[in-house]
């Protein structure tokens, strides 16, 4: 005798529900993301705005909005890049944002990044420099002057990309014709603000007869060219840079008299020079100093007295007075000529 297994009979209503569930599951497996309505817009941005290294990365952000301005969530965004590689298909989140990573492949140049969504919306192409796309560099020194006895100066270079934004991760080389750099002239990398810093140290033995220091900074652009900037740091020496002479009075009778002479000595920064040696000369008369050296006081001043004897000529007599002092390198600096008239 043979036995045949019997399956329990299911109610018709239950069978209908099972069939509908299977159909629904199959349909759900092939469900696509929503399509952005016609007239939607895509806005692209890159962070950072350039790849300073040819193998660097940048986050590309696409914001998709519907024609009424609301965000389009769950929409597939297709990214493309003309240089390097990029994530090709990313869905927007609840804020209508899709992010993809642009990766440099070792080549330098400019990557043109595009984005599009089903429904026809495309973004305005985004240009991303790759591989050291620095375009400009500026340099400043803090402070802008240093005493001849020595000191430290902070050098700050600012590198900007082709769009004028700070360029992070760019390599900068600093140079100087005097003193020593903390970097030793090696490569210094810019920070998130596009700044690279170095420190210049100057000693008294470095100065000699120099009155300034020329510092520089260089960085490479994407095309391989060097962008450079220079800055002049003043050396504040206490050597005389100028001397001015005055006389009081500047007119005397023919019978003669005494004239009070003053000379003011200043350095290259316009400050008074104390301890500078000054001597006066006069075409007529006698100097109380005898024409010898007089030392300036804390105000950079010296005084002398000129005595002019009586003059017998029938017309006016002119007496010329000058002051002299040694400058940097022992060069003699002469003052203006003061004219004293007797009549």
- Domain limits, the chain: 41-130, 136-236, 242-342
The whole-number average pLDDT for the span 308-330 is 88
Burial of 267 (0-12, 13-18, 19+ CB in 10 A): buried
The answer to whether residue 222 scores a pLDDT higher than 80 is no
Nearest alpha carbon to residue 343 among 214, 237, 253, 235:
253
How much is the pLDDT for 11?
54
Tell which phi-psi region holds residue 273, choosing left (phi > 0), alpha (psi between -120 and 50) or beta: beta
How much is the pLDDT for 74?
92
The answer to whether residue 25 scores a pLDDT higher than 80 is no
What share of the chain in percent tops pLDDT 70?
A: 87
- Residue-wise pLDDT tens digits, 185-210: 999 989 989 999 999 999 988 887 78
Tell me which architecture the domain covering 136-236 has in CATH.
Sandwich (2.60)
How much is the pLDDT for 27?
43
How much is the pLDDT for 337?
97
Sign of CA dihedral 175, 181, 182, 186: positive
* Strand pairing class (301-308; 257-266): antiparallel
The whole-number average pLDDT for the span 39-53 is 88
- Residue-wise pLDDT tens digits, 268-279: 778 898 888 999
Distance CA 257, CA 87 (A): 96
Nearest alpha carbon to residue 231 among 160, 140, 299, 170:
140
Beta strands in 283-331, from DSSP E residues, in sequence order:
286-287, 294-295, 301-308, 317-326
pTM check: above 0.75: no
How much is the pLDDT for 247?
97
Same fold flag, 41-130 and 136-236: yes
- Residue-wise pLDDT tens digits, 234-278: 887 777 889 999 999 999 999 999 999 999 999 877 889 888 899
Q: How high is the mean pLDDT of the chain?
A: 86
CATH superfamily of this structure's domain 41-130: Immunoglobulins (2.60.40.10)
The CATH T-level fold of domain 242-342 is Immunoglobulin-like (2.60.40)
The answer to whether residue 305 scores a pLDDT higher than 70 is yes
How much is the pLDDT for 134?
56
Distance CA 111, CA 115 (A): 13
Q: Confidence band (pLDDT; 50, 70, 90) for 5?
A: very low
């Amino acid at each position: 005798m043979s036995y045949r297994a019997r399956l329990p009979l299911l109610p018709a209503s239950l069978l209908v529900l099972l069939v509908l569930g299977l159909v629904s599951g199959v349909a759900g497996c092939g469900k696509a993301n929503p399509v952005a309505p016609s007239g939607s817009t895509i806005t692209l941005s890159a962070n950072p705005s350039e790849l300073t290294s040819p193998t660097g990365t940048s986050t590309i952000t696409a914001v998709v909005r519907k024609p009424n301005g609301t965000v389009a969530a769950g929409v597939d965004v297709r990214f493309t890049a003309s240089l390097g590689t990029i994530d090709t298909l990313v869905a927007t989140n609840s804020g209508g944002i899709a992010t993809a990573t642009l990766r440099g492949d070792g080549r330098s140049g400019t990557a043109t990044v595009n984005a599009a969504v089903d429904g026809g919306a495309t973004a305005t192409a985004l240009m991303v420099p790759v591989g050291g796309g620095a375009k400009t560099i500026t340099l400043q020194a803090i402070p802008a002057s240093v005493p001849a006895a020595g000191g430290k100066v902070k050098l700050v270079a600012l590198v900007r990309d082709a769009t004028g934004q700070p360029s992070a991760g760019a390599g900068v080389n600093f140079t100087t014709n005097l003193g020593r750099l903390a970097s030793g002239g090696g490569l210094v990398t810019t920070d998130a603000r596009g700044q690279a810093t170095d420190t210049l140290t100057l000693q008294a033995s470095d100065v000699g007869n120099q009155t300034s220091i020329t510092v520089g900074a260089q960085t490479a652009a994407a095309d391989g060219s060097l962008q450079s900037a220079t800055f002049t740091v003043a050396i504040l020496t206490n050597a005389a840079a100028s001397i001015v002479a005055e006389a009081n009075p500047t007119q005397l009778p023919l019978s003669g008299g005494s004239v009070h002479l003053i000379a003011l000595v200043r350095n290259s920064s316009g400050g008074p020079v104390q301890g500078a040696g000054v001597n006066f000369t006069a075409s007529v008369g006698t100097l109380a100093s005898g024409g010898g050296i007089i030392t300036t006081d804390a105000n950079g001043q010296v005084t002398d007295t000129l005595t002019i004897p009586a003059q017998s000529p029938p017309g006016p007599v002119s007496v010329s007075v000058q002051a002299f002092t040694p400058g940097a390198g022992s060069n003699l600096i002469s003052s203006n000529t003061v004219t004293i008239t007797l009549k």
